[in-house]
Amino acid sequence: MSRKKSNSGLRFQPAGGNRAPQVPVGKKQRLLIERVSGDGRGIAFVEGRTWFVSGALVGEEVEARVLAARGKVVEARLERVFLPSPQRREAPCRHYARCGGCNLQHVPHADQLALKQRLLAEQLQRVAGLQPEQWAAPLSGPEFGYRRRARVAVRWDAKARQLDVGFRAEASQDIVAIDDCPVLVQPLQNIFRHLPTVLRSLSKPQALGHVELFSGTAEALLVRHVAALPAEDLARLEAFCAEAGAQLWLQGEGQPAPVDAAAQLGFALEPWGLELAWRPGDFVQVNAQVNTLMIQQALAWLAPQADERVLDLFCGLGNFALPLARQAREVVAVEGVQAMVERAEANARNNNVHNARFFQADLSQPLAGAGWVAEGFSAVLLDPPRDGAFEVVQGIARLGARRLVYVSCNPATLARDAQVLAGQGYRLKRAGILDMFPQTAHVEAMALFEAG
């Protein structure tokens, strides 16, 4: 099928035909954006190739620079807009054109939410042939200042004799040297603003691997290193953290991890009167406000009653299990990593929660054999990683649960698992997105299934 000539005189070639010539990295190409991909990139078709252009919107005529090409797929980044979409806005962050951390700042937030909702709906329909009986409104918080953890890239450039500090560029190992990031929570912005200067002042910066920032009931700076840090560098880092009011954690060659083995952070779940302790390296949702909204919605949809027994799979630190225990008779919580099970048990004790039991199990395998499986449940909550819960959901109907809430960080695996649940007689009652990562195309979602 041929494509029409645009007003600018640009002519688009058929998608088929002779073998397309090799597209070199760095080449610039003028394109008409016709669709949007699942990760928010614009899609164009030229000479039998499909171009994915970050930063481009449907209907725009743009110039894009090739980042990578393989087969008939070209990955590119926007260089110039000739005909902008009315949907386009000026990116609020001055580093947006270079930094690879965000990819939707050129889209108004309301339109970001609509895009994510549409992508979820398309996955459910295409993969599982399902649509929910009711769409839930998106759960969202502030556009900026939401991220309570971040990994900072650090690399010693031996040729230039300098330390690069910042975030990775898109589709590249290049480091964009920046010292401010508006998506970080304010306490981390304050630390990050001075961090590059401090790291570059060290006598042995080539010993650094990367740095992570964390915020909770306190802040923490985790420095991973590939060689022992000199005493003067350790003192410099300790002084910086003391001035910033942050804990210092070291991990790598020559020093134990962490410096203070008793140190930990925490975060509050205020609606339930809970505070969960965690350590850098544990999985914690990066968006505290949306995390609270997510738990509230999950509990409202699951509606656990005071006489019911609830199963929480992939429970982590107890993020869902402990609020569930405030409403249910008993919660059985299961996690694959033993250290996280122990952390969740400690969180239950420290919050005087006595009706939650925690178990370790390999949740990449079907549920079978364990005593807690045979006892049955009224409701189930799943919060799996990106791979989803395919093996777990295979026989989940045997647990007897009438209600099931599935929290997903990957709509594709949610849709795949939803098809399995539908095959066991569960109906998709509600679904909606969780805007855990504003300014990015990352989609998180929640779905409610009911038996019969």
Asked if residue 79 belongs to a known ligand binding site, the reply is: no
Q: Are 74 and 53 in contact (CB under 8 A)?
A: no
Both structure tokens of 154: 């650090």
- Catalytic positions: 409
Q: Is 285 annotated as a binding residue?
A: yes
Residue 300 CB-density burial (10 A; 0-12 exposed, 13-18 middle, 19+ buried): exposed
Q: Is 241 annotated as a binding residue?
A: no
Encoded tokens for 439: 């300014």
Q: Kindly state the tokens that stand for 162.
A: 């300098």
φ/ψ of 434, rounded to 5, equals -120, 115
- Consult the annotation and say whether 450 binds a ligand: no
**350 appears as a binding residue in the annotation:** no
312 known ligand binder: no
Q: Is 394 annotated among the ligand-binding residues? A: no
Q: Which helix (H) or strand (E) holds 294?
A: helix 288-302
- Look at strands 162-168 and 175-177 and give their pairing: antiparallel
Nearest to 396 by CA among 412, 413, 380, 408: 380
Structure tokens at 223: 């420095």
Enter the DSSP assignment of 410. -
Q: With the C-alpha atoms ordered 276, 277, 283, 286, is the resulting torsion angle positive or negative?
A: positive
Block residue for tokens 């914690």: 284
Rg (the chain; Cα; Å): 24
Q: Please indicate if the annotation marks 93 as binding a ligand.
A: yes
102 assigned to a ligand binding site: yes
DSSP state of 287: B
As annotated, the binding site includes 93, 99, 102, 181, 285, 314, 319, 335, 362, 383
Q: Which residues are annotated as a binding site for S-adenosyl-L-methionine?
A: 285, 314, 319, 335, 362, 383
| Binding-site annotation: residue ranges for [4Fe-4S] cluster | 93, 99, 102, 181
